Amino acid sequence: MSDSKKRRPGLESVSPVVPVQTTYYVPERDVDKSPILQCINLGISFGGLKAVEDFNLTLGRTEIAGLIGPNGAGKTTIFNLLTKVYQPTHGTILLDGKDTANMSTAQVNRAGIARTFQNIRLFHNQTVADNVLIGLHNEMDYGMLGGILRLPGYWRAEKIARQRAMEYLALFHLDQHADELAGSLPYGAQRRLEIARALATNPSLLLLDEPAAGMNPSETAELMENIVKIRDTFHIAILLIEHDMSLVMNICEGIAVLNFGRLIAKGNADAIRNDPTVVEAYLGRKGAKES
């Protein structure tokens, strides 16, 4: 433990002074409703290294929240914990009040969390439409035999699913590309397709891992509009990891700041800008003194 302290400047000043109530910040609109997500003392260690520790976060039902922090702070690890790619070593995740402790990744998705990936993970060899249809997998209800014998239920479900897939694609201006292979799309379109696919699973919480990475400013601007539009259309909560601060400050109502695997603050944009611990985490202690 003492070793890791030496390697991590600023750590000693971080943990004790975290004002716990800030992690319960949700936008006013959602205050009276039960939160969609609550993380309580969430943590994971890899062979003794605590990648995430005592992570507490509450998300409002229709909140757009940002998860920011320096490189290596553990942001993607949090996503992996929420979606059970890693099983947390301690702590609790409550999704809409339900404990996800024994769920697998697929079960968590069916319970309502969908995500995108930092390094895009599409089904590259399948068409754009099929990617979304795979997202709609659990929305269809015919069985294996029904599919093989092509019973009426198969045709009905496939028809509805194909229509819905096209609606999702249209939302992201991908409908003209429906028959192209996903791998042949340009980068920005691939990111949009990944969001469309995640939305198709009908989530109540959408996790976006660096959605604007590799996008040019006009694409980013469009993405920001899209994110707000998604929230307003589907009435879901969105948690996003992003390094583009203009995006985060513009559309995120709540911003959570992560440093060395710990949440050091959550609040609205103004609160975060003026939080001394946040400034310190980004600029170091010296920077904090100067500012």
Partner 1 sequence: MNMKRYLKDARSDLLTYAGVIIAFIIISTLKSHGALNRSQSGLLVPICCYIVMAVSLNLTVGILGDLSLGHAGFMSVGAFSGVVTAMSLMNVIPSAPARLALAMLVGAVCAAIVGFLVGIPVLRLNGDYLAIVTLAFGEIIKELITCLIVGVDSEGLHVIFNVNGSKTANDLTLLDGGRIIIKGAQGATGTKTIATFSAGFVLIMITLVIVQNLIRSRHGRAIMAVRDNRIAADSVGIPVTKYKMMAFVTSASLAGAAGALFGLNYSNLAAAKFDFNTSILVLVFVVLGGLGNIWGSIIATVILYILPEALRGFANYRMLIYAIVLIVVMLTTNNPVLKNYIASLRSKFSKDSEKEASAS
Partner 2 sequence: MKFLAYLVSGISLGSIYAIIALGYTMVYGIAKMLNFAHGDVIMVGGYISFLAATNLGLPVLLSVLVAMVFCTVLGIVIEGLAYRPLRSAPSLAVLITAIGVSYFLQNAALLIFGANPKAYTPVVSGTLKLFDGQLSISYVSIVTVICCIVIMLALTAFTGKTRMGKAMRACSEDKGAAQLMGINVNRTISLTFAIGSALAAVAGALLCSFSPTLMPTTGSMPGIKAFTAAVFGGIGSIPGAFIGGILLGVIEALGRAYISTQLSNSIVFAVLIIILLVRPAGLLGKRTQEKV
**Window of 29-37, 91-99, 149-157, 255-263 that interacts with partner 1 by CB under 8 A:** 149-157
**What are the two backbone dihedrals, phi and then psi, of residue 95, each rounded to the nearest 5 degrees?**
-105, 115
Tokens representing 107 are 């079960």
- Smallest distance, partner 2 to C-beta of residue 52, A: 14
Site string for partner 1, 52-71 (x = CB under 8 A): --------------------
CA atoms of 91 and 38, how far apart (whole Å): 11
Write the CA distances from 205 to 48, 111, 144, 228, 260, integer angstroms.
Answer: 31, 10, 29, 14, 25
Q: Which of 144, 152, 218, 291 binds partner 1 (CB under 8 A)?
A: 144
- Per CB under 8 A, 152 contacts partner 1: no
Buried b (16+ CB within 10 A) or exposed e, 158-179: beebeebbeebbebbebeebbe
CB atoms within 10 A of CB 180: 14
- Per CB under 8 A, 21 contacts partner 1: no
CA atoms of 173 and 72, how far apart (whole Å): 34
Tokens representing 32 are 């009276």
Selection from 134, 246, 234, 244 nearest residue 193 by Cα? 134
- Smallest distance, partner 1 to C-beta of residue 102, A: 14
Instruction: CB nearer to partner 1: give 33 or 124.
Output: 124
* Residue ranges in contact with partner 2 by CB under 8 A: 76, 80, 85, 117
The item of partner 1, partner 2, none sharing an interface with residue 110, based on CB under 5 to 8 Å by kind, is partner 1
**Window of 34-42, 67-75, 120-128, 213-221 that interacts with partner 1 by CB under 8 A:** 120-128
The residue count for binding partner 1 (CB under 8 A) is 46
Instruction: CB nearer to partner 1: give 107 or 216.
Output: 107
- Smallest distance, partner 2 to C-beta of residue 266, A: 24
Instruction: CB nearer to partner 2: give 35 or 74.
Output: 74
CA atoms of 34 and 26, how far apart (whole Å): 10
Q: Which of 67, 81, 200, 237 binds partner 1 (CB under 8 A)?
A: 200
Tokens representing 122 are 């599409």
- Smallest distance, partner 2 to C-beta of residue 39, A: 18
- Per CB under 8 A, 122 contacts partner 1: yes
Instruction: CB nearer to partner 1: give 49 or 144.
Output: 144
19-22, long-range: CB < 8 A, 24+ apart: 19/265, 20/56, 22/265, 22/266, 22/267, 22/271
The DSSP letter of residue 207 is E
Question: What residues pair up with 66 in beta bridges, in sequence order?
Answer: 240, 255
Q: Which of 13, 45, 105, 118 binds partner 1 (CB under 8 A)?
A: 105
Contact residues toward partner 1 (CB under 8 A) are: 83, 85, 104-107, 109-110, 114-115, 117, 121-127, 129-130, 133-135, 137-138, 140, 142, 144, 147-150, 154, 157-158, 161-163, 165-166, 178-179, 197-198, 200-201
